[in-house]
Amino acid sequence: MSSRFPFSAIAGQDEMKRALLLTAVDPMIGGLLAFGDRGTGKSTAVRALAALLPAMKAIDGCPYHCDPATPQAQCDACREKTKPKTKSMPIPVVDLPLGATEDRVVGALDLERALASGEKAFEPGLLASANRGYLYVDEVNLLEDHIVDLLLDVAASGENVVEREGLSIRHPARFVLVGSGNPEEGELRPQLLDRFGLSVDVRTPTDVATWVEIARRRLAYEADPDAYAAQWESHESELQRKLVAARKKVESVTLSDEIMERAAALCLALQTDGLRGQLTLMRAARALAAFEGRKQVTLEDVKRMAGPALRHRLRRNPLDETGSQTRIDRALAELFG
């Protein structure tokens, strides 16, 4: 397979790229929602990010690619193995296409094996393939409601429970949910909105130079993907190094009580729904500090992440013209000066 489009070669869209990187630094942040125009490189960025991440170790032959290092997160079959064979594989990125059937998503009876040998076997679905990786949902706002409900459950529990057609299976399904869509075509239910850790508005660039650069880079990549990837190799490995370092460090970045309190005050002032907003804000600020090599979360980190972490959790007033970002900016100015 030819090389993927390099992450560092994506022109513009800095906010989206940073948010994506932070979800990689700390997957517990819980996914990213990118709302905005079509053709702005959302899908490309997710794929490029997965290619950027170092390969992961997985138990060989496991359809959920369980992690040999964390037995508590393994599927039943893997837990029983005493000395499983491991392999190294790229971080999976799974597309959830619009109109995917429940079968495709959750998994279903393996028809092939059932017909051929009369065996009742489980054919893992997209959720299984996405375990430990990324689940990318394009046009997430147009997704069928029953699929959305399904995603909500699994994203919350990290586990896919299948109870159908006489099958009774549960398997780990921890993934970073990345959704994209255009809010003009329909909105997401607040329940699903809340499941996304960060949200960014992806706008078409407005300057000629970026436009030219986007098209130029795309064509250069297509002409020779491998050579193009090689050209960006140094950028990519630098970014990868930064990312891996941040991942190691993120747990040890300290958060002072003062910062926690001020973040809580911000969430209170904005009346965000639920506690998840505040948790995500803290995690995101910590991930940002780790990514930029700081040992402590600063107020600046909180300020920078307030938009992406809280924007989609504000209670909406249909008659209020003020955008979410404006409200956050106002609250930031009031509280943090």
Partner 1 sequence: MTMPTDAAPRDASGDALLICRLLAADPHGLGGVALASGSGPGRDAFLSCYKKLASASAPLITVPAHVSPDRLEGGLDIAATLAQGKPISSRGLIASADQGAMLLLSAERMSLDKAARIASAMDHAQTSRFGVIACDESREDDEALPKILSERMAFRINPDAGIKALHSDAVIPVDLARKAQELSILKAVEQALAETVLMLGIASPRALIFAFRVARLHAALTKQTTVTEADATIAAQLVFAHRATQMPIEEQSSEEEAKSQNQDSDSNTSNYTEAQSGALADRVLDAVRTHLPEGLLAKLDASAFSRQGRSGQGAKAAKAGKTRGRPLGARRGDPRSGARLDLVETLRVAAPWQRLRRQTQPKRTGVIVHKDDFRVRRFKEHRETTAIFVVDASGSSAIKRLAEAKGAVELILADCYVRRDRVAVIAFRSKSAEILLHPTRSLQRAKRSLAELPGGGGTPLTAAIETTLALADQVKRTGGVPLAVFLTDGRANITRDGTPDKAKALSETESAAKALRASGIKSLVIDLSDRPEGAAKTLAAALDALYLPLPHAEANAISNHVGAAMKSAGRSS
Scored b (16 or more CB within 10 A) or e, 209-234 reads: eeeebbeebbeebeeebeebbeebee
Q: Binding to partner 1 by residue 226, rule CB under 8 A? A: no
Shortest CB 60 distance to partner 1, Å: 23
Phi-psi region of 60 (alpha: psi -120 to 50; beta: other; left: phi over 0): beta
Name residue 67's amino acid: D
The angle at the Cα of 148, spanning 37 to 120, to the nearest 5 degrees, equals 130
Identified binder of partner 1 from the candidate list 95, 159, 273, 329, rule CB under 8 A: 95
Q: Binding to partner 1 by residue 3, rule CB under 8 A? A: no
Q: Token digits for 110? A: 């393996």
Residue whose structure tokens are 């995500």: 280
State the Cα–Cα distance between residues 285 and 291, nearest whole angstrom: 10
Identified binder of partner 1 from the candidate list 138, 194, 201, 236, rule CB under 8 A: 138
Q: Binding to partner 1 by residue 37, rule CB under 8 A? A: yes
Contact letters (x/-) for partner 1, 255-294, by CB under 8 A?
----------------------------------------
| Alpha helices by DSSP H, the chain | 14-25, 42-52, 76-80, 102-106, 111-117, 126-129, 145-157, 190-195, 208-223, 225-231, 233-249, 257-270, 276-291, 299-310, 324-336
Q: Binding to partner 1 by residue 317, rule CB under 8 A? A: yes
Q: Binding to partner 1 by residue 189, rule CB under 8 A? A: yes
Name residue 71's amino acid: P
Contact letters (x/-) for partner 1, 196-225, by CB under 8 A?
--------xxxxxx-xx-xxx-xx--xx--
Shortest CB 189 distance to partner 1, Å: 7
Tell me, yes or no, if 276 is annotated catalytic.
yes
Q: Binding to partner 1 by residue 146, rule CB under 8 A? A: yes
Q: Binding to partner 1 by residue 182, rule CB under 8 A? A: yes
Q: Binding to partner 1 by residue 90, rule CB under 8 A? A: no
Q: Token digits for 38? A: 């079509």
Choosing from 276, 294, 304, 327, which is the catalytic residue? 276
Q: Binding to partner 1 by residue 186, rule CB under 8 A? A: yes
As a whole number of Å, the end-to-end CA separation of the chain is 52
Residue 89 DSSP class: E
Catalytic residues: 276
Which residue ranges make up the site for partner 1 (CB under 8 A)?
Answer: 1, 37-41, 43, 95, 97-103, 108-109, 111-112, 114-116, 118-120, 138-139, 142, 144-146, 165-166, 182-187, 189-190, 204-209, 211-212, 214-216, 218-219, 222-223, 316-321
